A and B are shown apart, each in its own frame.
Chain A
Amino acid sequence: QSVLTQPPSASGTPGQRVTISCSGTYSNIGSNAVNWYQQFPGTAPKLLIFTNHQRASGVPERFSGSKSGKSASLVINGLQSEDEAIYYCATWDDNPTGRVFGGGTSLTV
C-alpha cells in the first residue's frame, strides 16, 4: 500500500489530454513539493517534473504538473504513442519522515 494514491491505470488516444492524479495528506503533499517520474519497461525511472511544476531538462512542454492542497496532477497534452509508460508521483513526508511514492499509473495510448 503506497503512501500516495494514484489510479493504477489511465488511457487516451493520440492527441488527447490525459490527467494523472496523486493524492496524499497534509504531512506529505500538503507540506512539500511533488515530483513526477516516467518509467518505460526495463529501464530506470526518469525525472519528468520537479518542485510541483518545473519540467526537467529535455521534457516536452506538453507535460505539465500542478499541486493544490493535498493533491497533485500530471497533465499530458497532445498525447503521443511514445508516452505509454508508468508514471509515479513522489514527495517528502514529514510524519513519519521520508521520501514517499505513489503506486504508479500505467498509461496506455
Chain B
Amino acid sequence: QEHLQPWGAGLLKASETLSLTCSVYDGSLSGYFWIWIRQPPGKGLEWIGEISHRGGTNYNPSLKSRVTISVDTSKNQFSLEMTSMTAADTALYYCVRGVYDAYSGYADYWGQGSLVTVSS
C-alpha cells in the first residue's frame, strides 16, 4: 500500500505563502490523480484542488486565484502552494490519492494531515 507523507512549514504569518509537498512512497504517480484537501480544526472537509500525473489541474473556484498544484514525477511527489495566507486558512492539509472511474473519480487513500497554523 502506498504511503503519502506531507511535509512543509507548519507555522506561517498572515500574508505569507504556504508550500507543502507530498511524497508518495511505495507507489507510482501514474494511473492516479493527486488531491489536496483541508480540514479546519473541528470543521468539515474542503477540496483545494488536484493534479493528474501528467500535470493537468483542477482547482476549487473559491481558492483558484491563490493556489498552484504541481507534480514532480522524477521525485514521486506533488506540491501545493497557496499565497496570501490568513488565519482562516489554518487547517489540517491532507494529500490524497485519486482514482479514476466512469465519472469524475474519487479520493481513495488519504495521507496523514499536515497541520498548518497561520498567525495574524
Contact = CB atoms under 8 A, between A and B. Distances in A.
Interface of A: 2, 32-33, 35, 37, 44-47, 50-51, 56, 88, 90-92, 96-104
A51 B101 CA distance: 8
Interface in B71-120: 94, 99, 101-113
Contacts of B11: none
29 contacts: A2-B44, A32-B103, A32-B104, A33-B101, A33-B102, A44-B111, A44-B113, A45-B45, A46-B110, A47-B107, A50-B99, A50-B101, A50-B108, A51-B101, A88-B44, A88-B45, A90-B45, A90-B107, A92-B105, A97-B58, A97-B61, A98-B47, A98-B59, A99-B35, A99-B60, A99-B107, A101-B44, A101-B45, A102-B44
A47 B58 contact: no
Q: How large is the interface on B (under 10, 10 to 19, 20 to 34, 35 or more residues)?
A: 20 to 34
Given A97-B61, A100-B47, A50 B110 contact: no
Contacts of A100: 47
A68 B53 CA distance: 33
A102 B44 CA distance: 8
- Grouping DSSP codes into helix (H, G, I), strand (E, B) and loop, the A interface class, with mixed when no group exceeds half, is strand
B116 to A, nearest CB: 15
Given A33-B101, A44-B94, A98 B110 contact: no
Interface of B: 35, 44-47, 50, 58-61, 94, 99, 101-113
A104 B45 contact: yes
B106 A90 contact: yes
A104 B44 contact: yes
A45 B47 contact: no
B50 A99 contact: yes
Given A2-B44, A91-B104, A98-B47, 6 more contacts: A35-B107, A37-B107, A45-B45, A45-B94, A51-B101, A51-B103
